A = this chain, B = another copy of it.
């Protein structure tokens, strides 16, 4: 007998009919002799409906009341799903964040989980009850409702799995698992059988949208095995888990891309101590996240500095940087929103030289100019012209043999 935590997203519970399908899947898992704890999101469209109501009232809702409002979405789903299982003859019981309790800090709308009570759930499981938990929501320990921010239900699920020491945390979604790259872009993309937490974190932060980064961090910290799989069929998906030897034999696990960044350059920056702080402090003061930073070698006491920011913040960032450029007597500021970040990810590259150069060669053979490079232990990212995104992803996917059947890579 295993303890299985399952999480179903908004699309999977988007109508009463779909809730019935979910109930059938839960029942099947339970009938196979497992203990089952289920985390659900709001029915698709419901959160948007609530957010629109708030927007009709005021542009700047208080975050406490915002949490009171949007948390009703998951509350509706847990009640309907529990009723559905009960009507099928199963014992089921719903839990709000405050009833578990899922204790968070006091930061409304983006709370972080601090502690999870497991007593109530354990008692139910022992009595043969299926436990249905509202994702996304918690309580601040003083009775106020908090929410974990968009996509927080993944994090709720992993946190409950961690607290319960579950055997697996199944995340049901509308894709089959984690792919070597975006299958819409590269039809040869292959579903990955298993992937390490660190690779998954890089994939997520580089644009793959299958799992929330926070949920993977949580899973890594508490060693929770995540099984990302489709809610439309029974085939296994992708296991996200601790690194093992198999994973290390694979040089590159996936190719990711991100079109949501923009590049800003300050040219002719006088090469003096403290200049970097003068440039980046005002950006962080304005909540603008800087991703890649490159400083060219200094020529005759002046240097060029290039960095990337989220595309939506580009205009604001340029405005800030232009003022700074004037003050520090730089020659000018240039920006480019037509860029794309293409990355290869793999724990195998830690112990293998030559991965980065294979990447550069493959891109250069197709005449794709690399504008910026950044590397980590298990990742290499290149900024290229946006129009080359698809080509670059296909070329890299091919260059690292990701279109070949997985079994061959292990030799």
Which residues from chain A sit less than 8 Å from chain B, CB to CB? 16, 19-20, 50, 53-54, 56-58, 60-62, 64-66, 68-69, 71-72, 75-76, 78-80, 82-84, 86-87, 93-94, 96, 98-99, 143-145
Contact = CB atoms under 8 A, between A and B. Distances in A.
A80 B65 CA distance: 7
Given A75-B72, A98-B98, A87 B60 contact: yes
A82 B64 CA distance: 10
B86 A53 contact: no
Query: Oligomeric state, in number of copies?
Result: 2
List the 6 shortest-distance A-B pairs measured between CB atoms, nearest first.
Answer: A69-B79, A58-B87, A72-B72, A68-B79, A16-B56, A65-B79
A80 B54 CA distance: 6
Given A68-B94, A94-B68, A143-B99, A58 B76 contact: no
Contact of A19 (B57, B69, B76, B82): B57
Contacts of A82: 62, 65, 68
28 contacts: A16-B53, A19-B57, A20-B57, A53-B76, A54-B79, A54-B80, A54-B83, A57-B83, A57-B84, A58-B84, A58-B87, A61-B86, A65-B80, A65-B86, A66-B79, A66-B83, A68-B75, A68-B79, A68-B82, A69-B80, A69-B83, A71-B75, A72-B72, A72-B75, A72-B76, A96-B145, A98-B98, A99-B143
Nearest to A43: B53
Contact of A86 (B16, B62, B86): B62
Contacts of A66: 79, 83
Contacts of A60: 87
Nearest to A120: B143
Contacts of A72: 72, 75-76
Contacts of A58: 83-84, 86-87
Contact of A57 (B16, B50, B69): B16
A405 to B, nearest CB: 44
A92 to B, nearest CB: 8
Contacts of A57: 16, 19-20, 80, 83-84, 87
Nearest to A74: B72
Contacts of A54: 79-80, 83
Nearest to A19: B57
A10 to B, nearest CB: 15
Given A65-B79, A69-B75, 16 more contacts: A16-B53, A16-B56, A19-B57, A57-B80, A57-B87, A58-B83, A62-B83, A64-B93, A65-B80, A65-B86, A65-B94, A68-B94, A69-B76, A71-B75, A96-B145, A99-B144
A173 B76 CA distance: 28
Contacts of A75: 68-69, 71-72, 75
A50 B73 CA distance: 12
A76 B62 contact: no
Nearest to A16: B56
